[in-house]
Structure 1
Amino acid sequence: MLLSSSSPGARRARTPGAVLLLVALLSALLACGGGGEVGTSERTSLLGAEQLAEATTVAEALALGDGAALSVRGHVVGQPTAPGEVAFDGFPDDLALALADRPDERDPARMLLVQVPDELRSTWGLRSHPDLLGREVVLRGTRSTYFSGPGLKQVSAIASVDGQAVPTVPTDPTGPTAPAGGGLPAEVQQYYADAEGRTGADLAQALHEIISTDVERLHYDELWEALRDTDADPDAPGRVIELYTGDSVPGDAHGGDPDQWNREHVWPQSRGGFGTSAGPGTDLHHVRPADVSVNGDRSSLDFDDGGGPQGEAEDTYRDEDSWEPRDEVKGDVARMVLYMAVRYEGGDGFADLEVSEQVGRRELDALGYLGRLSTLLRWHEQDPPDAFERARNDTIFETWQGNRNPFVDRPEWVSAIW
């Protein structure tokens, strides 16, 4: 559900005293960087005095369209947790802020939803610093949809109007929206060359074309051998790691018995209409080894928080319409689902897969949809790719399918699309 935005109000009057305060704040920000010439690795994006003095109100920012670069001034009033929902206490993490013109605002429709960059979460995260509530701040970023509502992403600087300076985000010289793929091997960077510099639907389309080109489609019976390779226990040859339990089990102990492992489709077959067909039904980027009983319990449930303990899979929860895996693979699950939504766009007779904010859809309405988007986005942030997930991505690319999951290689592209 899209949040409605309030009508833009008149611009707040800028008194000479306020301008002087903001100029002083700029000086404090500059002082944080130290003297001397700034090297490339230390370069930061700082708010200029004119940008600080001319920062828009939240109401004005809400009225702008996506893509506008701006400075905005407002009060920290809470944390968005789902579309249309803002927490005012008991904050679950340090990932986001809700900004409003009034410190006592409680209507989400009058709030700008801010994605806090990795580098500033320890300073500006509400779980770590609940005392930030009510503080008036100035932020520099790009107006973008966030939690399905008006938001601010690619935040390059945050400063407190009360004079307390905070660090700014180190950025690439080409700007705060420049992709951060420099740590990838040259051949992988070249693989994504056509996606560089893109955002939103344009980026999603570019990635779709990249990961759908020259792809090897496996047969369903080939998955046993493939999974013994992609999900091999790095510490125990001949064994595989089950997705939901995390258990290391014999690679040849697969089949249909309760204590064996089978082929779990993270995007359920019945929710995609693809069954075991070559393509989405055999795509290793979302097929994982899973305990037979646990796989049966997951069934075709959506992903979301909550429910009661699953039983055989420790730290896993389920209720009548959703499944919450253990913390160690929450991000893995999110990136697999998001990959499927970009990879399969309705071609070849298969459903157009979309990540939905709804959970518990009736079966007739569920085809092509899987939720919950806001939860999966949060899981992606909370559990970044680890060595096992990256190695699995490499093996699928090099040995089996010839394509990659871009959200494992470039996690920042998730927020650039959603």
Structure 2
Amino acid sequence: MKHIYFLFLLTSFLSFAQPTGYYDWANGRNGYPLKTALKEIIDANNDGLSTEYLSVDNGYGGLYITYETSDRDNYFEDNGTVLDMYSERVDSDGNNLADNYEYTYEIENPDDRDSGSGGTSEGEYYNREHVIPQSVFDSDDPMRNDAHFVIPSDKFVNAQRGNFPFGVVDSPDWTSTNGSKRGNNLNSGYSAGYTNTVFEPIDEFKGDIARMFFYFVTRYEDDITGFNTYDMFDGSSDKVFNQTFLNILYQWHLDDPVSIREQDRNNAIFARQNNRNPFIDHPEYVQQIWSASLSTENNYNSISVSMYPNPVKNNLHFSTTQDLDLIIYDVLGKKVLIEKVSSDQNSVDVSSFNKGIYLVRLISENGQVTKKLIKQ
């Protein structure tokens, strides 16, 4: 999510509600050893860690109980309805649009939940969508019951997605009312290398989906080589991802950074399930683990630019030899400034900004970078 309470990989900028010492076992590690350390932190085994939290399996029915605190819409319509990523309507700039339908958790309206029949069109029922299909792991527990990657969704849209991988749709053969779509993968750019059918959520939730995948392959590292073949996976327990889909997920992770909504969901699931998604708490772990395998890696480290002064009162200056698009967001995710930056046009006036923290995104044809800005 990038509009509602937008956070750009802010682990080093803001602190979140996670237990003291929760990630101590991961400190100082990189690459696949870091992934294994994270697995030991979030799994259900007693690994002898100084700070040990054992994951709890609340059962398949327990997902609906978890959703009552983890997946309420307190961010878009802010009315406590079911927050369904396949029906929530948000435009490409992150602006909220009225939903075509909504579901409720209220006891007096139990008919919104899947009754076991129906669901032949959108807006009839919601059910439980396994972002990683159950067929991958033969519907076994605890994977089947893990709220970190099992989400509430419209039953009909869930069925249209089916078991297809996530990807970038070229020409859709089906589109939901919120713009999620299905069709052949776009075999170019960062999604090159796959041409079969994929499912693409709207931009607002692409990062959410990506971080669910990174969680899954970490949490179930010990089991994943025994899972069934899936196009997104390469059969290994370390890299796990087919190269095309690693590139896609990493791109989505960068383009749609962690939001307060994801943090709130992480906290709610932790309260119920006793483990966390490390890639929400520490988005930088993705790069630290998979950097050697990322085909897109160079595209995101190729901008050479300095920004000063920081903190700033009036004019913000940039030192760069490239032409850059500049976007500044406040911590609510609102775009407060869009400008061009170059060696000739190398300053912007931020004197009218309120005091506080802002996020500066600089984009060139070669890549992008995000920096924190403090306005005094």
Q: How does 1:362-401 map to 2 (within 5 A)?
A: 372-398=245-271, 400-401=272-273
- Listed as ranges, the gaps of 5+ residues in structure 1 are 1-117, 120-178, 362-367
The Cα of 1:260 is off from its aligned counterpart by 0.5
Larger Cα-atom Rg: 1
Q: Would you say the 8 A contact 1:357–1:374 is kept in 2?
A: no
Q: Which amino acid aligns with 1:193?
A: D
Q: Would you say the 8 A contact 2:16–2:281 is kept in 1?
A: no
The Cα of 1:205 is off from its aligned counterpart by 0.6
Q: Which amino acid aligns with 1:199?
A: N
Match of 1:245 in 2: 87
2:199 corresponds to 1:199: no
Among candidates 340, 343, 347, match of residue 219 of structure 2 = 343
The Cα of 1:221 is off from its aligned counterpart by 1.4
2:145 corresponds to 1:305: no
2:125 corresponds to 1:260: yes
Cα offsets for 1:202-247 (capped at 9, x unmatched): 1101000001041110211121221122101215555211122215
Match of 2:319 in 1: none
The Cα of 1:180 is off from its aligned counterpart by 5.2
Q: 1: distance between equivalents of 2:259 and 2:34?
A: 24
Cα offsets for 1:159-186 (capped at 9, x unmatched): xxxxxxxxxxxxxxxxxxxx95563248
Closer, same or farther: CA 186–224 of 1 in aligned 2, 3 Å: closer
Q: 1: distance between equivalents of 2:227 and 2:68?
A: 28
The Cα of 1:348 is off from its aligned counterpart by 10
Structure 1, 190-199 or 342-351: larger mean CA deviation: 342-351
Closer, same or farther: CA 187–316 of 1 in aligned 2, 3 Å: closer
Q: How does 1:165-204 map to 2 (within 5 A)?
A: 181=12, 183-185=14-16, 187-204=18-35
Identity of aligned residues (%): 33
Q: Would you say the 8 A contact 1:272–1:353 is kept in 2?
A: no
Alignment: residue pair count: 231
Q: How does 1:224-243 map to 2 (within 5 A)?
A: 224-234=64-74, 236=78, 239-243=81-85
Q: Would you say the 8 A contact 1:346–1:353 is kept in 2?
A: no
Q: How does 1:8-407 map to 2 (within 5 A)?
A: 181=12, 183-185=14-16, 187-213=18-44, 214-234=54-74, 236=78, 239-246=81-88, 247=99, 248-251=102-105, 252=110, 253-255=112-114, 256=116, 257-258=118-119, 259-273=124-138, 275=139, 277-306=140-169, 307-308=171-172, 310-319=174-183, 321-347=197-223, 351=227, 356=232, 372-398=245-271, 400-407=272-279
User: Which is helix-richer, 1 or 2?
Assistant: 1
- For the residue of structure 1 that corresponds to 2:199, the secondary structure is strand
Structure 1, 216-225 or 334-343: larger mean CA deviation: 216-225
Closer, same or farther: CA 313–369 of 1 in aligned 2, 3 Å: farther
Q: Would you say the 8 A contact 1:230–1:395 is kept in 2?
A: yes
Q: Would you say the 8 A contact 1:344–1:353 is kept in 2?
A: no
Q: Which amino acid aligns with 2:103?
A: V
Closer, same or farther: CA 403–350 of 1 in aligned 2, 3 Å: farther
Closer, same or farther: CA 396–374 of 1 in aligned 2, 3 Å: same
Normalised by the length of structure 2, the TM-score is: 0.56
Closer, same or farther: CA 192–352 of 1 in aligned 2, 3 Å: farther
Match of 1:416 in 2: 288
Q: Which amino acid aligns with 2:277?
A: N
- Listed as ranges, the gaps of 5+ residues in structure 2 are 1-7, 45-53, 89-98, 184-195, 291-376
Structure 1, 385-394 or 235-244: larger mean CA deviation: 235-244
Q: Would you say the 8 A contact 2:128–2:152 is kept in 1?
A: yes
Q: Which amino acid aligns with 2:14?
A: G
Q: Which amino acid aligns with 1:351?
A: F
Greater relative contact order (Cα 8 A, min sep 6): structure 1 or 2?
A: 2
The Cα of 1:312 is off from its aligned counterpart by 2.5
Q: 1: distance between equivalents of 2:229 and 2:22?
A: 24
Closer, same or farther: CA 287–238 of 1 in aligned 2, 3 Å: same
The Cα of 1:387 is off from its aligned counterpart by 1.3
Q: 1: distance between equivalents of 2:55 and 2:36?
A: 17
Normalised by the length of structure 1, the TM-score is: 0.50
Q: 1: distance between equivalents of 2:285 and 2:135?
A: 28
Q: Would you say the 8 A contact 2:36–2:221 is kept in 1?
A: no
Closer, same or farther: CA 369–185 of 1 in aligned 2, 3 Å: closer
The Cα of 1:331 is off from its aligned counterpart by 0.3
Q: Which amino acid aligns with 1:372?
A: F
- For the residue of structure 1 that corresponds to 2:168, the secondary structure is coil
- For the residue of structure 2 that corresponds to 1:241, the secondary structure is coil
Match of 1:68 in 2: none
